[in-house]
Each structure stands twice: as C-alpha cells, then as structure tokens.
C-alpha cells in the first residue's frame, strides 16, 4: 500500500506547507545576500567575471585597458603626508612651517607680504608638481631634473605655484627639490643621511615601475587576492551542515509525493547533491591556479541546478499535497509572492545596486591635503550662552583620601610597608593596647 502526501492529515499538511514556503522565502533572501556580497558589476546576480574574481582573484586580460596604477613610492608618501611635522614618516612640513629654503622662496617670508592661505595654495601646487615629476617615466624625469625644467602633463599644471619656481610653462624642478629637500638632506645639512642632493639619491626612494602583467595561456591575469582559505572553510561548514539537513527534509517531502518513482528517486536527493557539487567547485576554483577560472564558472551552473531542484521540491510537493481547491490557494500564494518579490526588486533592490566603479580623472594627480582634518574656527558664544555659563557652579576638585584602618581587623588586612617598601611581617604588627599578632 503506497502512502503519499494526499493521505496526510490536514494539520500535517499545513505544517509541511508552511515549512516549504519558509524554505523558499529563506532561499530568496540568500539570493539577495549573494547579490549584495558578490555582485560587483551592478547587476542583480553575480556575473561569471564576479565569481572568477572572488575565487581566483583573476580577470580576463584586456590589452586595451590602461595599466594598473603603481603604488605610491616612498618619496611621494613623504611629500603628501597629512601633517606639517618633519620626521621619518613625512617631509610635508618642509613646504610650509619648516621651510628652510632660500629667502626668496621661504614660506615665512612670503606670509609676511601676502595672505597665508594664498601662500599655502602655492605650496600645495609645489607638492602636486613634485608628485607629477616622480610619476614621470625615468628618462623624461632624469632629463627634467638635469635641465631644471619640468613641463607638467597637459591640463595638470597647478593654478597656484610659487613665482620663483616658474619658467614659462615649465617648473624649475631641481630648484624646487633643492629648496624643500636638499637644504637638510645633504652634506652639512641637519639630516645628511639619506642624501637627496643627486638624482641617484632621490631614486633610492622611487622604485622602478612593476613589469606589465602577463596573462596566462587562457588569457587571465591575477589582480587581487582571492577569498581566504579560512573564510572558505567557514562557508563550507555552514553550507554543508545546514543545507544538507534543510534540503534533505524538502527532498523527503518530495519523495512522498505522487509523482512517478523515477522522478522522486532523482529529484529527492538532487538539491543536496548539487550543493555538495557547488562547494566542491569552490575549492577546486580556489586551489587550482591553472583551471581555477573554469571551476569558478561551474559554480554558477551548480548553483542554478540547486535552485531549480529546490523549486521542484516546493512546487511539486505542494501541488500534489492538496486537491483542486488547495491547489488554487497555493497558486494564489505563488502569485502574491511573485508580485511582492517583483515590487521588492524594482523598488528596493535595483536602487540599491552597487554602481560600476568610475575611474577618478584626478586619481593620478592627488591633492596632498586630501583627507586633512578641517581646521575649525573658534565658536562664537551667544550672550545667553555666557549667562548660562556664569550661573554654573564653580568646579571643586574632589580629593580622594585613602581609607584609614578603623579597627584591628582592617589594620591587619592593610599591612603597612617598612622603609624598604616591603610588607611588615605579621609578627611585628601592633594592635591597640600594644598587642601583637604573635
């Protein structure tokens, strides 16, 4: 005698129905989390490129794409540091407060004749020009240094620049370096080492640009670190343990349906098998460097097959569990869920999609003062605020005195110290009446 879902008591059917619908809603929320966490292209679901990047850290090589920007050199970092101090981390102060250049270029002399804000803007211009010079190819950079004549890239010349450093459309780059750096970092200067009075000395802090990326035989290049092994292990643990139990239950319910036996034999364990295959593709993509991108693409396929299997579990079980009236109710629930889901996607999800990254046109010409905390002007207090302050009680400091022993027990527990700073032995402690512990 066969026993199917139609033969279950109504309370059991209701529990099974709520369970299946809850699993479907939970899986939908997992899809939403997948979008938020892994879809970096602004599309509702992660693209194959997103998945390959996550598990392998690789992208398809584009020969027409601009080369990746080199990290800031040590010299550049010292120049644009956001402080006016001079130490092992910054030389930015050499352009302003700690300027030791010749008198006609010195900061303290310029601020006597002109507004300080105007002079500071010129010094920021000097920093930007110096950064541009540092990022120039070596041959052009060296020629500009030796000729003391650097022409900034088109449209990159700072509007504000110290007049004594201008040479038509060019900048006296060696004069700039001598005034801001060499005055200290040279023989007889305050900081002889490291010496910056030659091009070779400067280049010790400007490493050569990295070689252009070379794609592998499948046309991929590594651009970032993939997902960590520890994080992948954590995700594997969560998926295999929780999903195995959850989808085994949905498969068990589907196995009790009235569909043909071959469908139930294949469809019952289908989702658990696909989840296991999906997790296996994670690890193969992460650990196999040569074929990793192809295993990563397989993650999309196994995930899709798992989703299809779960939909068959839910819909196939519910529509064989009830008669005609029950199926109509289930159909209406599916329609309501689809409408609500569509409204959620269009009204909430789509506006929250991450926008594709747009390269900042000024990325190669950073503002040295970017991120510098704003100097707040002193707050002007209103008369009523002053009256309120006058009414405040004067501050009286609270003096905390050590607690004194008030009896023999307290005195015993707070053992005094001898002149050497060591606790007095118990046998030498004296109590009221001349008694001792001995």
Q: Which helix (H) or strand (E) holds 222?
A: strand 220-222
Q: What is the pLDDT of residue 82?
A: 67
- Which residues contact residue 271 at a Cβ distance below 8 angstroms, ignoring those fewer than 6 apart? 243, 247, 250, 251, 306, 309, 310, 313
Who has greater pLDDT, 420 or 389? 420
Q: Which helix (H) or strand (E) holds 354?
A: none
The pTM score is 0.55
What is the C-alpha separation between 134 and 72, in angstroms, rounded?
10
Using a 10 angstrom Cβ sphere, with 0-12 exposed, 13-18 middle and 19 or more buried, the burial of residue 101 is buried
Q: Give strand pairing partners of 166.
A: 171
What pLDDT band is residue 363 in, cutting at 50, 70 and 90?
Answer: very low
Q: What size, in residues, is the chain? A: 438
What's the pLDDT tens digit per position in 315-340?
Answer: 999 989 988 888 888 889 888 888 88
What is the C-alpha separation between 4 and 256, in angstroms, rounded?
5
List the alpha helices (DSSP H) in 244-379. Answer: 244-255, 261-267, 270-287, 292-321, 324-344
Q: In the numeric block, which tokens belong to residue 79? A: 């120049």
Q: What is the pLDDT of residue 148?
A: 86
Who has greater pLDDT, 1 or 58? 58
Neighbour-count burial for 303-334, b at 16+ CB within 10 Å, e otherwise: bebbbebbebbbbbbbbbbbeeebeeebeeeb
Which of the 8 DSSP states describes residue 308? H
Question: Is the pLDDT reported for residue 88 higher than 80?
Answer: no
**Count of CB atoms within 10 A of residue 155's CB?**
7
Q: What is the pLDDT of residue 275?
A: 94
Question: Is the pLDDT reported for residue 300 higher than 60?
Answer: yes
Q: Which helix (H) or strand (E) holds 154?
A: none
Question: Is the pLDDT reported for residue 265 higher than 50?
Answer: yes
Q: What is the pLDDT of residue 365?
A: 46
What's the pLDDT tens digit per position in 208-227?
Answer: 766 777 888 888 888 888 99
In order of 95, 112, 164, 429, the CA distances from 181 in angstroms are 9, 23, 16, 69
Question: Is the pLDDT reported for residue 57 higher than 60?
Answer: yes
Q: Give strand pairing partners of 167.
A: 170
Angle, CA of 115, 177 and 203, to the nearest 5°: 145
The answer to whether the CB of 155 falls within 8 A of the CB of 364 is: no
Name the residue among 110, 72, 107, 104 with its Cα closest to residue 86.
107
Q: What's the mean pLDDT in 77-103?
A: 72
Q: Which of 121-135, 137-151, 291-305, 423-437 has the lowest mean pLDDT?
A: 423-437
Question: Is the pLDDT reported for residue 106 higher than 60?
Answer: yes
Who has greater pLDDT, 66 or 138? 138
Which of the 8 DSSP states describes residue 417? B
Helix (H, G, I), strand (E, B) or coil at 423: strand
Q: In the numeric block, which tokens belong to residue 245? A: 């139990």
What is the C-alpha separation between 45 and 32, in angstroms, rounded?
8
The answer to whether the CB of 129 falls within 8 A of the CB of 173 is: yes
The answer to whether the CB of 132 falls within 8 A of the CB of 153 is: yes
Q: What's the mean pLDDT in 347-362?
A: 56
The answer to whether the CB of 16 falls within 8 A of the CB of 314 is: no
What is the C-alpha separation between 58 and 223, in angstroms, rounded?
6
pLDDT mean across residues, the chain: 78
The answer to whether the CB of 183 falls within 8 A of the CB of 189 is: yes
Residue 342's φ and ψ, nearest 5 degrees, are: -65, -40
Q: Give strand pairing partners of 232.
A: none
What is the C-alpha separation between 424 and 414, in angstroms, rounded?
10
What is the C-alpha separation between 97 and 107, in angstroms, rounded?
7
């Amino acid at each position: 005698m066969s026993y199917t879902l139609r033969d279950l008591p109504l309370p059991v059917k209701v529990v099974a129905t709520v369970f299946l619908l809850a699993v479907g809603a939970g899986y939908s929320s997992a899809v939403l989390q997948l979008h938020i966490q892994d879809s970096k292209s602004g599309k509702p679901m992660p693209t194959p490129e997103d998945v390959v990047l996550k598990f392998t850290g690789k992208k398809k090589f584009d020969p027409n794409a601009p080369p990746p920007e080199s990290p800031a050199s040590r010299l550049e970092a010292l120049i644009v540091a956001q402080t006016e101090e001079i130490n092992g981390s910054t030389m930015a102060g050499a352009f302003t407060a700690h300027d030791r250049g010749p008198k006609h270029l010195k900061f303290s002399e310029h601020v006597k004749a002109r507004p300080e804000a105007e002079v500071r803007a010129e010094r920021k211009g000097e920093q930007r020009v110096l950064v541009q010079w540092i990022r120039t190819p070596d041959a052009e950079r060296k020629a500009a240094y030796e000729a003391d004549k650097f022409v900034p890239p088109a449209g990159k010349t700072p509007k504000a620049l110290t007049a004594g450093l201008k040479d038509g459309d060019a900048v006296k780059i060696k004069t700039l370096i001598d005034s801001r750096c060499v005055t200290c970092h040279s023989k007889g200067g305050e900081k002889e080492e490291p010496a910056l009075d030659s091009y070779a000395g400067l280049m010790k802090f400007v490493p050569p640009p990295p070689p252009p990326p070379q794609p592998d035989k499948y046309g991929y290049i590594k651009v970032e670190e993939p997902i960590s092994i520890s994080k992948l292990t954590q995700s594997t643990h969560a998926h295999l343990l929780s999903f195995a139990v959850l989808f085994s239950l949905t498969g068990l319910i589907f196995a009790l349906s009235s569909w043909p036996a071959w469908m139930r034999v294949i469809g019952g364990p289908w989702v658990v098998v696909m989840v296991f295959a999906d997790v296996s593709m994670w690890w193969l993509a992460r650990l196999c460097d040569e074929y990793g991108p192809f295993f990563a693409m397989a993650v999309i396929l196994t995930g899709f097959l798992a989703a299809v299997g779960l939909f068959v579990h839910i819909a196939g079980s519910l529509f064989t569990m009830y008669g005609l009236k029950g199926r109509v109710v289930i159909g209406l629930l599916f329609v309501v869920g689809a409408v609500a889901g569509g409204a959620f996607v269009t009204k909430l999800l789509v506006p929250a999609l991450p926008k594709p990254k747009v390269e900042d046109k000024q990325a190669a010409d950073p503002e040295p003062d970017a991120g510098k905390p704003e100097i707040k002007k002193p707050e002007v207090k209103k008369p009523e605020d002053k009256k309120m302050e006058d009414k405040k009680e004067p501050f009286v400091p609270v003096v905390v005195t050590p607690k004194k022993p008030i009896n023999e027990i307290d005195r015993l527990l707070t053992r005094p110290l001898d002149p050497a700073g060591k606790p007095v032995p118990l046998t030498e402690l004296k109590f009221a009446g001349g008694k001792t512990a001995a």
